[in-house]
Structure 1
Amino acid sequence: MFTGLSAFPLTPMSEQGIKEYEFARLVEHLAEAEVDSIGVLGSTGNYAYLNPDERARVVKLSVENAAGVPVVAGIGALRTRDVLANAERAQQAGASGVLLAPVSYQRLTNDEVFDLYATVSQSLSVPLCVYDNPGTTHFEFSDELHGRIAHLPQVRSIKIPPVNSDIQAATERVARLRKLIPSEVTIGISGDAAAATGLNAGCDAWYSVIGGLYPHLALALTRAAQAGDAQTAQQFSEQLEPLWSLYREYGGSLRVAATIAEVTGRVSQSCLPQPLQTLQGDNRRRVEQALEQLGLD
């Protein structure tokens, strides 16, 4: 489950609630493409903006429409109490695994983060992926802390931030972490623009935003890397540079992915929780031009 392509769809919503039909169609599309897993309620899924009932509903809809593809559900919250409640409801809804970032308002210490994972892992009956996302959580894991957490029960993957674009440096970074974790714990790369480098450097999985919209493209890159064809994997990534440049310009993948979903008719406007907004005006036209340049619809 924590290898290959894990595709992360949006959770389209209005201020009245989740757009359930649209979300179900996004999940069905990923299942039809035969991705390796479907990651819901990650950053792209806007988990921080949903209440507990909405989160549970997203997981239920995901499992119902995934056609047997494993569903990994985000359970992050400010309080450990709420993380445990999210985990329980995700398991009850049929999630095959859970994804946990150390969400905080006050900056967390290493001991606080370790205790969070220790408490949660002991309560789980499904495997857990550690979500290392310093850009959002403002917490930076050391490899040593990853090593401690990776030995906890049910921990089976680490979702690391983008690696260095230099393949040697990236390979050395993955190798350092690999030495500190059990053999059954996988390493997954996040940050779409770094996916090819991360996979070629030895990562086992790609936790992918673009895979949630264009799973066949993401699968082609992933399968090339898995087959040892590093050059082809890198070429696929280079071809998608118009999208990666938009990510960089607009502060990450969420607004770009949500705008793509709107302009291609996958979801209706507006699909983000307020105060978040998709790109408009000239910025929206730049997204449309990038899609036209790449021949994507």
Structure 2
Amino acid sequence: MGVDHPSGGNGRRPPSGLPGSDRAGHAAPGIRFAGIGDEAAADLAGQLDALRQLGWGAIELRNVDGVAVADLDDRAFAGLADRIAAAGLDVVCVDSRIANWSRPVTGRFEDDEAELRVLARRCAALGTRYVRVMSYPNAGLDEEEWGKRVLARMTLLVRQAEQHGLVLLHENCTGWAGARADRMLQLLDRAGGPALRLLFDIGNGVPYGYDARALLGDIIGHVAHVHVKDARTGPGGQVTYTLPGDGESGVRSCLRALLDHGYTGAWSIEPHTHLRPHQGHDTTDADGVAAFVRYGRHLERLVRQDIRPARTPLAGGGRHG
């Protein structure tokens, strides 16, 4: 089984969004809208309801009732997989804790290996090959030793992922390669192969202090999955998360660049308005689903009005707008 799946990693149904398609849930030909479910609600019922209201056919999984996918007991996981299938949803990615903000480079590598083994079985059941990872925050090491350990660990993880038919998606978030394109490219070169690609989160540049659009220009050919998030910096440097296109992350510019480059896959929303797990911020409740749906509708309008028109040829050869 190959590991490179440009439609977003799911093998249960053929890629949709053919040229000219305006079916609900498709941003553009070959690009699907999706969302990280626990950004809408902690419980699976709320997560599924949010995607149902949006009419989108794809979900990204991270936690259910506050429990990571890899930590669910077998019965709970079987129920989750059955309910997602019954809802007619594809799983485009599973967001793991491997090498993330909670696991410094000096921590137990066995925890990451164990999580990957569990997710290999569970991703097969869910029909996805994509697993989100990061690249280990530092813990008092000098830069050279930090990078050396990250590359050694990631090389082993990528080889294991390849054996399991998975693709690890490194996110531009916390970690050694989180905010620097040169390190991302080095990671791909030193630890990479068909089982390592990049996940580009549009909104991470604001809280981490870099220009997301500039970074995207350096890595765009390696991006296999996208998180749509937006933010702005307020008084005292406080970061506030906004509707897509209303902040300082360059959402429009990034989405246009991806579309122009021929990106195919998912544009998956991560609003961060109700849930920010790395900051212990969780106010998901009945309002979380409504906010998530509002965010998704706003993105649909933004894409329809600002992204697609200038790039959709008319029958006579002209362009909208």
TM-score, reference length from structure 1: 0.49
| More strand, by proportion | 2
Using the size of structure 2 for normalisation, the TM-score is: 0.46
